[in-house]
Amino acid sequence: MENPLLTESACPYGAPQFDKIRNEHYLPAFKAGIEEAKAEIDSIVNNPEAPSFENTIEALEYSGRTLDRVSGIFYNIMEADTDEQMQAIAEEISPLMTEYSMYVSLNKPLFERVKAVYLMKDSLDLAQDQKRLLEETYKSFARNGANLSDEDKAVYSKYAEELSLATLQFSKNVLAATNAYTLHITDSTDLAGLPGYVVDMAAMAAKEKGLDGWVITLDYPSFGPFMKYSDVRNLRKDVYMAYMTRSVGGEFDNTGIVRKIVDLRIKMSELLGYDTYAAYALENKMAKNQETVEKFLEELLQPSLPYARREVAEILAFAKAHGFEDDELKSWDFSYWSEKYKEAEYSLNDEQLKPYFRLEDCINAVFGLAGRLYGLTFEEIHNVPVYHKDVKVYDVKDADGRHMALFYADFFPRPGKSGGAWMTAFREQCIYKGVEERPFISIVTNFTKPTETAPSLLTHGEFTTLLHEFGHSLHGILAEGRYSSLTGTSVPRDFVELPSQIMENWAYEPEYLDTFAKDYRTGEVIPDSLITKIEASKNFLAGYSQVRQLQYGIMDMAWHTLKSMPAEGTVEFEKKTMAPVDVMPEVPGTAFSPTFSHIFAGGYAAGYYSYKWAEVLEADAFSLFKEKGIFNKDVAKSFRDNILSKGSSEDVSVLYKRFRGHDPKPEALMEKLGLTGE
């Protein structure tokens, strides 16, 4: 059969042929891609000519293009629109991909050629990006076991295969556990406190499941508002407990898988000569080492904890003054009472703001911002196939009309979709055989679907999320370079969040909000009084929110600085680690590690601190926009030229300094959050 994953695409710009791709095409395509990639590796190894940058390093960079294309499609659809058949295929592919990865990284004659070129690097007349590619290629081999003995290579390969399967199982369990739970409400009195949009969404969820009444799920657009607004405390507790025990015990238990993943990472890093997995993972990051990260987390945590504890006490005092009878707030109370407090303190709630943030208007506003800053235009096109009917595709052009990217947008939740929001790419930017290939960039979110009575309306927080993921997208869209491994978002984890997090700042700028935030029912522009409240409430619970983020970073480092497995189980180890930094009472039996996909299935292991690290970068970077003007073309051009277009073609610390004129200043974040002084 003709395989659309292996044939040249007739779609515009060579876009994936989603209209033709079926599950049965994936396995043959992976096998063909691996076979072709191995043949390309063999031709590099067997080249009779002396090793050179072109015939070894560059040839290696461009090898496996078919496999990259197939992987780029399969693994992205696995997250956005999976089913049991795809999950089974993923498990079958996993050992094949691991074996291929080892075929390259543990290939002795290949490494000898790479090493030969590396050793003569000072005598080669290489451009900056070529020098960087040579250094990164050599380091990658060394960090993936090329210097191991044959015996240790075999052990390393075995561990790598086990780790790949374990992370797959982790993801599968989280998705299945999330989908397995529903709160079925049949008595309308149990809807007390829920805004109309939440009730409508719950009614639609029930209808989709063939049920009467209303259904609350653990998908965040359902779970989050329910915890924030439901007046029915025992139901909030039920939903909270379901959410926080999703993969703790039961059919979709991840507690043992967490330990297995951590144990394998300890063993692999030990084989490679590192004290801990964190030492291995941080070597290539801006932070460089465990000590720097722990010092960084501590320096943010200590001044933030008093603020967080005071905020919790203020919410408790408010709750007690309004009829709450317990002596402490439980975790299922905090979101509810803090929302009530916010409403009383700032006269502001999501229900007031949502009419001004219709999804279509928000999309146009985000595109408009990219136009004002970088000269980009986004035109929706209908001649490019999509993998699901909800997905939209846009042709992105630069100010001079040059095609920059295809941009795929997938906004609504569905059973086969992972929770949260992310940016990814079906194809990265590069120049191959003298011809530039522009990227296929995608953002995936889980925003509220339109209902029978209202369009899709975002909370202000969701609009901020849209800006965040769009910032990642710009990093991919504006990529310029020869080598895809050095362009776009192929940068250290603690730098990759800078382009995304800096974009969030515009969500609070009146000068920007005035341009698009209109009541979808009346066309009324968002009043200045509401914008003032948004600005005033910007740092509401800033201490608490900062501590929550730091707790995730601390937990991540606790798992990945272990030298051997602790005697305690997963839940107990988490409780012990969190006890000194908790600002809420412990809830027995709950844990977030078993669903902490970022570190156990998403590439952020020993790297979750990077969100806060990047917040320091963006607070410092955005202060230049504030100084010169939030739409200043010169600042935007410098940010594009030095950050967005460069990828990691140079050391990112150098790139940042070139943009900002100095190293990042941590105090910029504390000032931005209002966590300085008493």
For tokens 């080249």, what's the residue?
Answer: 47
Known catalytic membership, residue 469: yes
Q: How far apart are CA 484 and CA 486, in angstroms?
A: 5
665: left (phi over 0), alpha (psi -120 to 50) or beta: beta
Cβ pair 133, 61 in contact under 8 A: yes
CA distance 586 to 571: 12
> Taking Cα atoms as reference points, which of 512, 536, 526, 529 lies closest to residue 353?
526
Give CA–CA dist 55/50, Å, rounded: 9
Cβ atoms of 164 and 94 within 8 Å: the answer is yes
Neighbours of 17 (CB within 10 A): 19
Of 162, 428, 469, 574, catalytic: 469
Cβ atoms within 10 Å of 243's Cβ, excluding its own: 22
Strand partners, 474: none
**Nearest 10 degrees: CA dihedral of 395, 399, 402, 407?**
-20
Task: Please report how the helices 290-321 and 610-628 are oriented relative to each other, as an axis angle in degrees rounded to 10.
Answer: 80
Q: What number of residues does the chain have?
A: 678
- Distance CA(596)–CA(463), nearest Å, equals 24
Are 97 and 160 a contacting pair, CB within 8 Å?
no
Task: Read off the DSSP letter of residue 9.
Answer: P
Look at residues 617, 605, 602 and name the one whose alpha carbon lies nearest to residue 663.
Answer: 617
User: Would you state the structure tokens that stand for residue 615, as one six-digit string?
Assistant: 């917040």
* Catalytic residue IDs: 469
